[in-house]
C-alpha cells in the first residue's frame, strides 16, 4: 500500500477548503463573462511542464476563472432555466466524485444504483406510472429525450417484424411547434423526420390538431412528444387529449417534462398534467426544478424492458454484465459509462424530505403569479401571456431588440440581474424564469424599476 504524500494531502485540503467556502457562501456574486483577450491576459500559462501547484491553481480559478462564469444558482439569474441546487446536493456531489462510484452496472455500483432507483420509483409514483416503471439518470434532457426516442423507434421496428410489416422509408417523430430544440436534435442524430403540429391560441398542443397529422403520416410515426412545460413560456400541452389520440393509434407517447414536470409535485398543479400517467416514457431534469447540481435528467419508462432491448450493448468484455438479471442503468439509455449522477438528488431528498421540495416548487409558482400581476399593473409594461408555471414573459412597450439587449447588458454589468431577451412570434420580449427559492418579489420589482 502506497502512503499518500504530504503534497497530495495538501492538494486535497486546498481544493476542499475552497469547495467548502463556495458551498456555504451566503452572498455569491452574480459575476459576468470576460472577453477572450482579458482571459488570455489573466489566465494563460497555467499548463506547464512542472505544474503551478494546487494553491496557485485554486487561486487562479477562484479569482479569475470562476468570476468569469455567470452564477446559475444566483437568485437574480432569471434567464434560460436557472439552477438552484440545495447545499446538501452540492456537498454530496463532492462525495460522489471522491468515492469513484461507477454507476453503469449493478455489479459495480449496486448501492448507488439502489439509491438512485429509490428516487426514480418515487418520481414514477408521483407521475402516476405503474409499479413496474423504472429508468435511469442521464446527462441531461437532450440525452434523455434521445434515449427515449431510440427506444420508441426500436419498439416500432420490433412491432413491424412481429406483424410482418416493412419499415417505412423514413421514420417520423411528431411534436408541437413549441417542442424543445432537443427533439429536432435527436431526430437529426437518428436520421428521422420531424412533423410539427401547430399549437392552439393557448400555446398548447391538443389532440384534435395532432390526429390529422398522425393519420397523414400513418405507420411512419414511431413517437409523439408532448411537452410538460415549454422552455420559453412554461406551457403544458393538453397531454390527456394527446394520449387519447396516441393510444387509439398505438403510437408511443413521450413526455418532455425537463423543466415543468416537477410542478406536478404540487398537489394543486396536478390537473394541468392530466395524462402524464399514460406516457410510455418521460423525462424531468433534477438540475432544473428539483434543486440538484448539473447535470442530471431522470428518464422513466412505463415498461423498462423495452429500453433494455433497445440499449443493452453487447461485447465480450460485457458478457459478465449482460448475462445477468441485474438492473444495469447503462442498459436503459445511450450512455455506457456513467457517474451516479442521481445520488446528489437522493441525498438532498433523504436529508430534507419531499415536503420541503413541494413547498419550494410551489413558492416559484406563486412568485411568478405575484410578479405577473405587478407587471400588469405597471404603465409601459404588459404580459405576453399569463404564467402557468414559473416563467413570466412580458414586454416593455415600444422597445426594440436593441433596446432590450442594451438594457440586459447594463443589468448584468451592474450585477443586478441576468435577464436576456427572448422572442415570441418574431417579437422581442423579456422573461423571468423563476426557480430559486432565494429569488424574492423585491428583487424582481427592483429589476422592473430599471425598465425606464
Alpha-carbon gap, residue 446 to 441, rounded angstroms: 8
Q: How confident is the model at residue 38 (pLDDT cuts 50, 70, 90)?
A: very high
Q: Which stretch of 17-26, 44-53, 231-240, 386-395 has the lowest confidence by average pLDDT?
A: 17-26
What is the model's pLDDT at position 26? 73
Per-residue pLDDT of 343-357, as tens digits, reads: 999 999 999 999 999
Q: How crowded is the C-beta side of 45, counted as CA atoms within 13 Å?
A: 3
Per-residue pLDDT of 206-259, as tens digits, reads: 999 999 999 999 999 999 999 999 989 999 999 999 999 999 999 999 999 999
Domains of the chain, each with CATH number or no CATH: 94-351 (3.40.640.10), 354-448 (3.90.1150.170)
How big is the chain, counted in residues? 452
What is the model's pLDDT at position 25? 78
Handedness of CA 224, 225, 226, 230 (dihedral sign): negative
What is the model's pLDDT at position 415? 97
Q: How confident is the model at residue 79 (pLDDT cuts 50, 70, 90)?
A: very high
Pick from 452, 433, 343: which is nearest to 392 by CA?
433
Do 365 and 389 meet the contact criterion of CB atoms below 8 Å apart? yes
Amino acid at each position: 500500500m502506497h502512503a499518500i504524500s504530504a503534497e497530495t494531502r495538501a492538494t486535497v485540503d486546498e481544493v476542499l477548503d475552497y469547495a467548502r467556502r463556495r458551498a456555504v457562501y451566503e452572498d455569491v456574486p452574480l459575476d459576468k463573462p470576460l472577453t477572450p483577450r482579458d482571459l488570455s491576459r489573466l489566465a494563460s500559462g497555467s499548463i506547464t511542464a512542472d505544474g503551478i501547484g494546487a494553491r496557485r491553481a485554486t487561486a487562479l480559478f477562484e479569482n479569475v476563472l470562476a468570476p468569469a462564469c455567470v452564477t446559475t444558482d444566483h437568485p437574480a439569474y432569471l434567464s434560460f432555466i436557472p439552477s438552484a441546487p440545495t447545499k446538501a446536493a452540492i456537498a454530496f456531489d463532492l462525495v460522489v466524485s471522491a468515492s469513484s462510484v461507477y454507476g453503469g452496472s449493478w455489479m459495480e455500483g449496486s448501492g448507488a444504483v439502489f439509491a438512485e432507483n429509490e428516487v426514480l420509483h418515487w418520481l414514477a409514483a408521483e407521475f402516476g406510472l405503474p409499479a413496474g416503471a423504472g429508468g435511469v439518470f442521464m446527462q441531461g434532457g437532450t440525452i434523455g429525450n434521445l434515449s427515449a426516442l431510440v427506444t420508441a423507434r426500436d419498439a416500432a421496428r420490433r412491432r413491424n417484424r412481429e406483424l410482418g410489416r416493412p419499415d417505412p422509408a423514413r421514420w417520423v417523430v411528431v411534436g408541437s411547434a413549441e417542442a424543445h430544440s432537443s427533439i429536432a436534435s435527436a431526430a437529426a442524430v437518428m436520421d428521422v423526420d420531424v412533423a410539427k403540429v401547430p399549437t392552439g391560441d393557448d400555446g398548447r398542443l391538443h389532440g384534435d390538431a395532432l390526429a390529422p397529422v398522425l393519420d397523414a403520416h400513418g405507420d411512419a410515426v414511431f413517437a409523439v412528444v408532448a411537452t410538460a412545460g415549454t422552455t420559453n413560456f412554461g406551457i403544458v400541452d393538453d397531454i390527456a387529449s394527446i394520449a387519447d389520440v396516441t393510444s387509439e393509434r398505438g403510437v408511443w407517447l413521450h413526455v418532455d417534462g425537463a423543466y415543468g414536470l416537477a410542478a406536478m409535485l404540487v398537489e394543486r398543479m396536478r390537473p394541468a398534467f392530466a395524462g402524464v400517467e399514460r406516457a410510455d416514457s418521460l423525462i424531468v431534469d433534477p438540475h432544473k426544478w428539483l434543486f440538484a447540481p448539473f447535470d442530471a435528467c431522470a428518464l422513466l419508462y412505463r415498461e423498462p424492458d423495452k429500453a433494455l432491448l433497445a440499449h443493452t450493448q453487447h461485447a465480450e468484455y460485457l458478457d459478465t454484465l449482460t448475462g445477468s438479471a441485474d438492473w444495469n442503468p447503462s442498459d436503459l439509455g445511450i450512455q455506457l459509462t456513467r457517474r451516479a449522477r442521481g445520488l446528489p438528488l437522493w441525498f438532498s431528498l433523504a436529508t430534507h424530505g419531499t415536503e420541503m421540495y413541494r413547498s419550494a416548487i410551489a413558492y416559484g409558482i406563486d412568485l411568478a403569479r405575484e410578479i405577473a400581476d405587478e407587471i400588469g399593473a405597471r404603465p409601459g409594461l404588459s404580459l405576453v401571456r399569463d404564467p402557468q408555471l414559473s416563467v413570466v414573459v412580458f414586454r416593455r412597450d415600444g422597445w426594440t431588440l436593441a433596446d432590450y439587449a442594451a438594457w440586459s447588458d447594463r443589468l448584468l454589468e451592474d450585477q443586478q440581474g441576468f435577464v436576456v431577451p427572448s422572442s415570441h412570434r418574431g417579437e422581442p420580449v423579456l422573461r423571468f424564469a423563476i426557480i430559486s427559492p432565494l429569488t424574492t418579489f423585491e428583487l424582481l420589482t427592483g429589476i422592473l424599476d430599471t425598465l425606464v
